[in-house]
A and B are shown apart, each in its own frame.
Chain A
Amino acid sequence: TIYFLSKTLAKPNVKNIVLVDGVRTPFLLSGTSYSDLMPHDLGRGALQGLLNRTGVPKEIVDHIIYGIVIQEVKTSNVAREAALGAGFSDKTPAHTVTMACISSNQAMTSAVGLIAAGQCDVVVAGGVEFMSDVPIRHSRKMRKTMLSLNKAKTLGQRLSLLGSIRMGHLMPELPAVAEFSTAESMGHSADRLAAAFGVTRVEQDEYALRSHRLAKKAQDEGLLSDIISFQVPGKNIISADNGIRPTSMEQMGKLKPAFVKPHGTVTAANSSFLTDGASAVLIMSEEKALALGYKPKAYLRDFVYVSQDPKDQLLLGPTYATPKVLEKSGLTMEDIDVFEFHEAFAGQIVANLKAMDSDWFAQNCMGRKSKVGVPPMEKFNTWGGSLSLGHPFAATGCRLVTTVAHRLQKEGGQYGVVAACAAGGQVFLPKYTYAQLARADTEYSRGATVQVFLVHSFGLFSVHVLCMKMTMCKSVQKHF
Chain B
Amino acid sequence: MAAVGSLLGVLSRSATRRYTLRSGLSPRTFAVASSMLARTHVSYEIKDDVAIIRINDPNSKVNTLSVQLQQEMTEVMNEVLGNEAVKSAVLISSKPGCFIAGADINMIQACGTAEKVSSLSSEGQKMFERVEKSPIPIVAAINGSCLGGGLEFAIACRYRIATKNKKTVLGTPEVMLGLLPGAGGTQRLPKMVGLPSAFDMMLTGRNIRADKAKKMGLVDQLVDTLGPGLKGPEERTIEYLEEVAVGVARGLADKKVPMTKTKSTMEKIQEYVMGFEFVRNQVYKTVNNKVMKQTKGLYPAPMKIIECVKAGIEQGPDAGYLAESQNFGKLAMTSESRALIGLYHGQVACKKNRFGVPDREVKTLAILGAGLMGAGIAQVTVDKGVNTILKDTTVEGLSRGQQQVYKGLNDRVKKRSLTSFERDSILSKLTGQLDYGGFEKADMVVEAVFEDLNIKHAVLKEVEAVIPPHCIFATNTSALPIKDIAAASKRPDKVIGMHYFSPVDKMQLLEIITTDKTSRDTTASAVAVGLKQGKVIIVVGDGPGFYTTRCLAPMLAEAVRVLQEGVDPKKLDTLTTGFGFPVGAATLADEVGIDVAAHVAEDLGKAFGSRFGGGNVELLKTMVEKGFKGRKSGKGCYIYQPGLKRKDINPEIEEILERFKMTPHPTVSSDSDVQYRLVTRFVNEAVLCLQEGILNNPVEGDIGAVFGLGFPPCLGGPFRYVDSFGADKIVEKMRRFEDVYGNQFTPCQLLLDHAKDPSKRFHK
Contacts and interface: CB of A to CB of B under 8 A. Distances in A.
Contacts of A193: 227, 229
Contacts of B82: none
B221 A263 contact: yes
Interface string B214-246: 000000010111111111110010001000100
Contacts of B421: 180-183
A262 B228 contact: no
A311 interface: yes
Interface string B400-421: 0000000000000000000101
B247 interface: yes
A197 B221 contact: no
Contact of A312 (B221, B223, B228, B231): B228
Interface string A169-184: 0000000000011110
A313 interface: yes
Nearest to B223: A263
Contacts of A183: 419, 421
A351 interface: yes
B226 A354 contact: no
B419 A354 contact: no
A191 interface: yes
Nearest to A263: B244
Interface string A93-123: 0000000000000000000000000000000
A59 to B, nearest CB: 47
A196 to B, nearest CB: 3
A96 B233 CA distance: 39
Contacts of B233: 196, 312
A242 interface: no
A358 B230 contact: yes
A248 interface: no
A379 interface: no
A260 B223 CA distance: 8
Given A182-B419, A263-B247, A195 B230 contact: no
A385 B419 CA distance: 35
Contacts of A191: 224
B242 to A, nearest CB: 12
A400 B225 CA distance: 33
B232 A195 contact: no
Candidate in A182, A198, A263 with the most chain B CB atoms within 10 angstroms = A263
A360 interface: yes
B56 to A, nearest CB: 23
Interface string A275-310: 000000000000000000000000000000000010
B419 A198 contact: no
A24 interface: no
A351 to B, nearest CB: 7
A361 B233 CA distance: 11
Contacts of A475: none
B240 A195 contact: yes
Contacts of B240: 195-196
A195 B224 contact: yes
B227 A313 contact: yes
A438 to B, nearest CB: 30
Contact of A196 (B227, B247, B419): B227
A359 to B, nearest CB: 9
A360 B231 contact: yes
A361 B229 CA distance: 7
B226 A361 contact: no
A1 interface: no
B88 to A, nearest CB: 16
A283 to B, nearest CB: 36
Contacts of A11: none
Nearest to A199: B229
A236 interface: no
B642 to A, nearest CB: 24
Interface string A351-384: 1001100101100110000000000000000000
Interface string B127-156: 000000000000000000000000000000
A314 B576 CA distance: 56
B230 A198 contact: yes
A188 interface: yes
B398 to A, nearest CB: 28
A192 interface: yes
A182 B231 CA distance: 23
A311 B230 CA distance: 17
Interface residues of A, number: 27
A192 B221 contact: no
Contacts of A364: 228, 232
A260 B226 CA distance: 13
Nearest to A197: B229
Max count, chain A CB within 10 A of own CB: residue among B221, B224, B225, B229: B229
Contacts of A360: 230-231
A352 to B, nearest CB: 11
A354 B221 contact: no
Contacts of B236: 195-196, 198
B224 A188 contact: yes
A246 B26 CA distance: 67
A295 B221 CA distance: 60
A121 B236 CA distance: 51
B224 A312 contact: no
Contacts of A365: 228
B518 to A, nearest CB: 41
Contacts of A351: 229
Max chain B Cβ within 10 angstroms of own Cβ: one of A180, A195, A198, A312: A195
A113 to B, nearest CB: 29
B161 to A, nearest CB: 9
Nearest to A316: B227
A181 B228 CA distance: 19
Given A181-B421, A182-B419, A183-B419, A195 B226 contact: yes
B340 to A, nearest CB: 38
A312 B225 CA distance: 9
Given A263-B221, A263-B244, A197 B230 contact: yes
Nearest to A264: B224
B226 A312 contact: yes
Contacts of B247: 263
Which interface residue of A192, A260, A361, A365 has the most chain B CB atoms within 10 A? Answer: A192
Contacts of B221: 262-263
Contacts of A309: 227
Contacts of B244: 263
Nearest to A309: B227
A231 B227 CA distance: 46
A193 B226 CA distance: 7
Interface in B173-229: 221, 223-229
Interface string A116-142: 000000000000000000000000000
Interface string A230-261: 00000000000000000000000000000010
A364 to B, nearest CB: 7
A191 B226 CA distance: 10
Contacts of B231: 360
Interface string A192-217: 11011110000000000000000000
Interface of A: 180-183, 188, 191-193, 195-198, 260, 262-263, 309, 311-313, 351, 354-355, 358, 360-361, 364-365
Given A196-B227, A311-B227, A360-B230, 20 more contacts: A180-B421, A181-B421, A188-B224, A191-B224, A192-B225, A193-B229, A195-B229, A196-B226, A196-B228, A196-B229, A197-B229, A197-B230, A263-B223, A263-B247, A312-B227, A313-B227, A351-B229, A355-B230, A358-B230, A364-B232
Interface of B: 221, 223-233, 236, 240, 244, 247-248, 419, 421
23 contacts: A180-B421, A183-B419, A192-B226, A193-B229, A195-B224, A195-B226, A195-B236, A195-B240, A196-B226, A197-B229, A262-B221, A263-B221, A263-B223, A263-B244, A263-B247, A311-B227, A313-B228, A351-B229, A354-B230, A358-B230, A360-B231, A361-B228, A364-B232
Q: 3 smallest A-B Cβ distances: which pairs? A: A312-B227, A196-B229, A196-B226
